[in-house]
Structure 1
Amino acid sequence: RQLTPSHLDWLRSLPFDSVYRGEVYLCHATPKDDNLYWLESVSPEGHVFLKPIEAIAALAEGIDLPLILCGHSHLPRAVRLSDGRLIVNPGSVGCAAYDDELPCYHKVEVGHPLASYAILENTAAGWIWQFRTVAYDHMAMSALAAERGRADWASALATGWVR
């Protein structure tokens, strides 16, 4: 129920990015910046929206693999590039809403507390995906956040909204 120093050491030991089986590129956010959304942009007013395809493709430059997996925004989303490469953000397991100061103040809200993930399949036509949600004991996690003095996280975990 709580990360130990050894858990944190293990997390710090993980590589910035990775390639799986020579055909899947994995990173947390983007290939060069762990705090930049790959598939979304944030307006100066704090609105989160789908980034233009040209900007998404520019971030994938030099990655000549058919499947790219990223995260960071916690929003389940898939984008097929014009050359056929697929970029997938599976969403979040346990954090369906948050607010952030970078690049400016904004909220990311899925609108439900369910865990999100993606099922990927390599077919003759290329990679395809299905997004799935699954219930988990989000109220227990919300209560734990409240016990730790994080009312903001407690609300987000309980509802999938930032309040």
Structure 2
Amino acid sequence: MRLAVIADVHGNLIALEAVLADIARFSPDLMVNLGDLVSGPFDPAGSAQAQMALGCPTLAGNHERGLTMNGANGLDALARPLLSPDQLGWIAALPATLTLLDGAVFACHGSPAGGDEEYLLEDMSTGRPRLDTEAAIRARLAGSGGAEMVLCGHSHVARMASIGGVLVLNPGSVGMPGYRAALPVPHVVEAGTPHARYALLERGPGGWSAQFHAVPYDVETAARQAERHGRPAIAHSVRTGWMPPA
């Protein structure tokens, strides 16, 4: 069983197309999309259509929840008027979590216990993501059932940890390598390179193996899209993998 995992496209269709082309080389048995699909200063409608066409298991992240609220703000407010009624309807119908492969895999955007805005693997208390303690991560796995693999997104940080025999994996972000956020504390996330990220999992007799992939793409065109939408900091992160100084 070979499973491709994508997350946090954030409307970056150019990055998504590069990732999908790379994934096609491996002919996975299944692809799963972990949310934050279209909210970004790139091509929300085009990326929505492309992700709808995949027909793969897809869940809603915190930005999908934001898009379905009348008081959408920030990137959600930017994306919402650019989406068609059909695209908004598809987003509104997405589940918050997914259980795959007869319960062997549990997928969420944030954490099983804390919802779509809780970081599962990271401690943000220093203002930058660092791997949290095993005890803290274990508590956030409550609600994942008997899954042997838990998939998450939200932090945009590609990483994997083994917690009490459960593998927890975040594939990183397809479309946005850096951002700043205010909650739970002010923090910045930076991938360090502009590549589009995804992960490829394979289940064999000895268990799961994982490959993290970083795919180059036309970042300059994506950055110019962000600039046209008035988001120069995101444009800088797309070009470089780093956020500009605050």
**What TM-score bracket applies, with the shorter chain setting the length?**
over 0.9
Specify every segment of 5 or more residues in structure 1 that has no aligned partner in the other structure, as ranges.
Answer: none
Counterpart amino acid of residue 67 in structure 1: M
1:9 aligns with 2:74: no
User: 1:97, 1:7 → 2: CA distance?
Assistant: 26
**Residue 123 of structure 2 corresponds to residue 41 of structure 1:** yes
For residues 56-102 of structure 1, give each alpha carbon's deviation from its aligned partner in whole angstroms, at most 9, with x where no partner exists.
Answer: 111113421111100000000000112x2111000010111101001
Partner of 1:100: 181
Runs of 4+ in 1 over 2 A off after TM superposition: 5-9
Letter in 2 for 1:66: E
Structure with greater helix percent: 2
- CA distance, structure 2, for counterparts of residue 19 and residue 118 of structure 1: 18
Tell me how far 1:42 sits from its aligned partner.
Answer: 1.0
Aligned to 2:98: 18
Match of 1:121 among 163, 184, 202: 202
Q: Which residue of the other structure, out of 128, 149, 154, is the alignment partner of 2:230?
A: 149
> What is the rounded CA distance, in whole Å, between the counterparts of 1:39 and 1:53 in structure 2?
9
Identity %, equivalent residues: 38
Letter in 1 for 2:150: I
Q: Could you tell me how far apart the structure 2 residues matched to 1:96 and 1:161 are?
A: 7
Choose which of 135, 156, 170 in structure 2 pairs with 1:74.
156
Of Structure 1 and Structure 2, the greater strand share is in 1
With normalisation by structure 1, the TM-score equals: 0.93
- 1:59 maps to 140
Query: What per-residue deviation string (whole Å, max 9, x for no partner) do you get for residues 86-137 of structure 1?
Result: 1100001011110100111110001010011111011222111111111121
Compare relative contact order (CA 8 Å, sep 6+) and give the higher one, 1 or 2: 2
How much is the aligned-residue C-alpha RMSD, in angstroms? 1.3
* Aligned 8 A contact 1:66 1:127 in 2: no
Equivalent pairs, count:
161
What one-letter code is carried by the residue in structure 2 that aligns with 1:128?
S
- How far apart in 2 are the matches of 1:150 and 1:121? 38
